[in-house]
């Protein structure tokens, strides 16, 4: 019954609001760190991958991308970058869940709204947006939207060799790369995005 719910007093509100702000700050710091370490050196990037338990892609995969005409960043391969984002997302979701539970127990409804806003406006789109940003930055001359445009024409420069080949007809919705015949998994070999989502 709503009259049993204690009103959120100001101190209460401020303390939870601070926690939401801290969470956002932490999130932005981590994203900034990932962005910067992906631009340092291969050694630094691999060191970072080790800390988050992501296995770097092998030379074969890099060569495959090159052969297909995809830009291959010297440091962070797109699927490695996405794997790191997935780990950050899981970590952040846990922190959000913990804080949300704490707020629910305290009937901190207004601050719960702030938290949900952060989730729907940033966190839910983080992997897609951040990967897109990275792919854009990896190829200065061709933007992701150009790839989308290319993907819809028969002259898709990323799969010119394979046009007409049935096994190459599936394209990644994130980066536009064609699915390779050798792909063992239902994930894009280039950026790691699942090719079939439900
Ligand atoms: Zn992809």
Question: What pTM, to 2 d.p., does this model score?
Answer: 0.79
Burial of 182 (0-12, 13-18, 19+ CB in 10 A): exposed
Residue-averaged pLDDT of the chain: 84
The three-class DSSP label of residue 195 is coil
**pLDDT score, position 54:** 97
> 178 alpha carbon to ligand 1 midpoint, in Å?
8
Q: Which residues of 111-140 are buried (b: 16+ CB within 10 A; e: fewer)?
A: bbebbeebbeeebeebbeebbbebbeebbe
Gap from CA of 188 to ligand 1 centroid (Å): 5
Q: Which two tokens stand for residue 129?
A: 């947006």
User: What is the structure's pLDDT at 160?
Assistant: 43
Residue 2: is its pLDDT beyond 60?
no
Q: How far is CA 139 from the centre of its chain?
A: 18
Q: Which residues surround ligand 1, an ion (CB under 5 A)?
A: 172, 174-175, 177, 188, 190-191, 193
Distance 172 CA to ligand 1 centre (A): 5
Could you tell me the distance, in angstroms and rounded to a whole number, from the CA of residue 28 to the centre of ligand 1? 24
175-193 pLDDT, tens digit each: 888 877 655 568 898 999 9
Q: 57-98 pLDDT, tens per residue?
A: 999 999 999 998 899 999 999 999 999 999 999 999 999 999
Distance 156 CA to ligand 1 centre (A): 15
User: How many residues in total does the chain contain?
Assistant: 198
d(CA 197, CA 109): 33
The pLDDT value given to residue 148: 64
40 alpha carbon – ligand 1 mean position (Å)? 23
Sign of CA dihedral 121, 35, 183, 57: negative
Cα(135) to centroid(ligand 1), Å? 9
What pLDDT shows up at residue 181?
66
Whole-number pLDDT of residue 184: 58
Q: What is the mean pLDDT of residues 161-177?
A: 66
Ramachandran region, residue 176 (left: φ > 0; alpha: ψ -120 to 50; beta: rest):
left
For the stretch 116-163, pLDDT in tens is 999 999 999 999 999 999 999 887 555 566 666 655 544 444 544 444
For residues 26-41, average pLDDT: 96
């Amino acid at each position: 019954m709503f009259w049993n719910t204690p009103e959120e007093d100001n101190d209460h509100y401020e303390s939870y609001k601070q926690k939401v702000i801290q969470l956002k700050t932490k999130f932005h710091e981590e994203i900034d760190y990932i962005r910067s370490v992906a631009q340092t050196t291969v050694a630094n990037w691999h060191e970072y991958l080790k800390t988050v338990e992501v296995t770097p892609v092998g030379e074969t995969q890099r060569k495959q991308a090159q052969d297909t005409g995809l830009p291959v960043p010297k440091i962070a391969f797109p699927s490695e970058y996405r794997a790191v984002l997935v780990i950050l997302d899981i970590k952040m979701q846990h922190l959000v869940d913990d804080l949300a539970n704490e707020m629910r127990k305290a009937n901190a409804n207004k601050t719960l709204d702030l938290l949900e806003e952060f989730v729907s406006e940033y966190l839910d789109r983080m992997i897609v947006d951040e990967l897109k940003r990275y792919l854009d930055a990896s190829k200065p001359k061709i933007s992701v939207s150009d790839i989308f445009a290319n993907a819809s024409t028969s002259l898709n420069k990323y799969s010119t060799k394979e046009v007409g080949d049935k096994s190459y007809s599936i394209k990644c919705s994130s980066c536009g790369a064609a699915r390779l015949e050798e792909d063992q998994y239902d994930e894009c070999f280039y950026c790691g995005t699942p090719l079939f989502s439900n």
